[in-house]
Amino acid sequence: MSARNLIRLAIALVVLLALWGAVTLGTKQGDVEQRFWVPTTAAKDVDTVIVAGAHDTIVLARATADARQVNGHPADRRMVEDLLTSLADRSCAAVARASSQRPASA
């Protein structure tokens, strides 16, 4: 590479960095705190809970008045009630801590 090409490359890099900085400053809307929020409801009032991720989805649905299913498989009633109570009573971080401390069921 010649010195002339290196200078052109350096100038192009500086221009791109300046544009990037201008766009970043122009689109900044301040620090807005966003929280996970679930409306308070009783477990008996919830029919379906859908947790959608980038690659998979979990559907917790009422099968009968007393039974629930997760993706079509029977779910433990106590665990479902615990989950729904946790979602209604806690923030997302507290729910994540509580679920990570619980042993996985086989």
pLDDT at 23: 86
Q: In Å, what is the CA distance from 46 to each residue of 37, 59, 86? A: 16, 12, 13
69-95 pLDDT, tens digit per residue, is 999 999 988 888 888 777 776 555 555
Contact 90, 83 (CB under 8 A): no
Task: Rank 10-19, 36-45, 94-103 by mean pLDDT and report only the highest.
Answer: 10-19
Model confidence at 68: pLDDT above 60: yes
Question: 78 versus 16: which is more confidently predicted?
Answer: 16
* Range from 8-17, 32-41, 56-65 carrying the lowest mean pLDDT: 32-41
